[in-house]
Amino acid sequence: MLEVHVLASGSDGNCTVIQHDDSAIMIDAGLSYAKIHKLMEVEGIDESCIDALLITHEHGDHVAGAGPVARKLHIPIYSNPATFGSFNHGKVEFEFIQTLQRFNIGDFSVLPLPTVHDAADPCAYNVTVGGKNILVATDTGKFTFPLQKALEEADFAIVEANYDNRMLHEGPYPESLKRRIASDHGHMCNADSALEIKNTFSNPNRQIFLGHLSKHNNTPDIARETVADLTGIKRYKLDCLEFLGDTRTLTVSR
Ligand SMILES: [Zn+2]
Ligand SMILES: [Zn+2]
């Protein structure tokens, strides 16, 4: 059994658990331990399954609960040194990793891939387990070549669809923040994500989950509609979290 549990995705916090039978890894812990604990209960995840916490980058919405989660679950944090040195985690067990250098955690073979984002050394994760390929790629201003290749080979991919272009430009954010979000070091808009998804289409069974939707500059409906229109993927096949506190468990293989 291989499942991806999306416990939170967006600027209020990010946390994903990839579970293969009785072992699991967590990617990012951007909410308090108490909230993550509750969300894991909602999704029926046994905390003792989790073997490691992998960090993508040091922004608060990805690391706010990292230290407490690592200590409560007695698991090491996996992070590259620049990221590890850029946030407050307190005393934790840790393993240093390097972008584009594969490492293993039990059955999980993990390749960190470079993203382009305004952080110390941000990355996405490509996880191979149970014969399947899973990509978690958010917080990137554009898709790097290794990300495109991983998206093409993925059986399941969380792809960032952060904002709708029109909503961002007509919305309430100050101009400087709008420029930062839309820059190559910010986030992916719905249309750009759609193009990456379309350009890497080769596996008709690939599952796409839209992640890190902005609550000010996007809506689940607009994200799904834009990506469906531009890729030809049926709307109902594109999933995302619908509201704050929403969670999802996606089955990759039984
Ligand atoms: Zn983020
Ligand atoms: Zn970020």
CA of 155 to the centre of ligand 2 (A): 25
- Cα–Cα distance measured from residue 6 to residue 16, given in angstroms and rounded to the nearest whole number: 5
Q: What separation in Å is there between the alpha carbon of 196 and the centre of ligand 2?
A: 19
- pLDDT by 10s per residue, the chain, length 254: 999 999 999 999 999 999 999 999 999 999 999 999 999 999 999 999 999 999 999 999 999 999 999 999 999 999 999 999 999 999 999 999 999 999 999 999 999 999 999 999 999 999 999 999 999 999 999 999 999 999 999 999 999 999 999 999 999 999 999 999 999 999 999 999 999 999 999 999 999 999 999 999 999 999 999 999 999 999 999 999 999 999 999 999 99
Q: What pLDDT is recorded for position 227?
A: 98
Say which residue the tokens 């919405």 belong to. Answer: 61
Q: Between vectors from CA 88 to CA 68 and to CA 119, what angle results, nearest 5°?
A: 120
Residue closest to 99 by CA, chosen among 61, 56, 129 = 56
pLDDT for position 142: 95
- pTM value > 0.85: yes
Contact 70, 53 (CB under 8 A): yes
Ligand nearest to the CA of 123: 2
| 135/128 Cα distance (integer angstroms) | 9
Residue 140's pLDDT is 97
Distance 254 CA to ligand 1 centre (A): 30
Cβ pair 234, 208 in contact under 8 A = no
Cα of 186 from ligand 2 centre, angstroms: 8
- Spacing, Cα 249 to ligand 1 middle (Å): 20
Q: How far is the CA of 213 from the centre of ligand 1 (A)?
A: 10
φ/ψ of 79, rounded to 5, equals -160, 155
Give the per-residue pLDDT at 202.
Answer: 92
DSSP 74: T
Phi first, then psi: what are they for 230, rounded to 5°?
-85, -20
Structural domains of the chain, ranges and CATH numbers in brackets? 2-253 (3.60.15.10)
Are 224 and 208 within 8 A, CB to CB? no
Give the ligand with the smallest distance to the CA of 186.
2
Residue at token pair 């967006």: 10
Strand pairing of 23-27 and 50-54? parallel
Contact 241, 247 (CB under 8 A): yes
Terminal-residue alpha carbon distance, the chain: 4
CB 210 within 8 A of CB 196: no
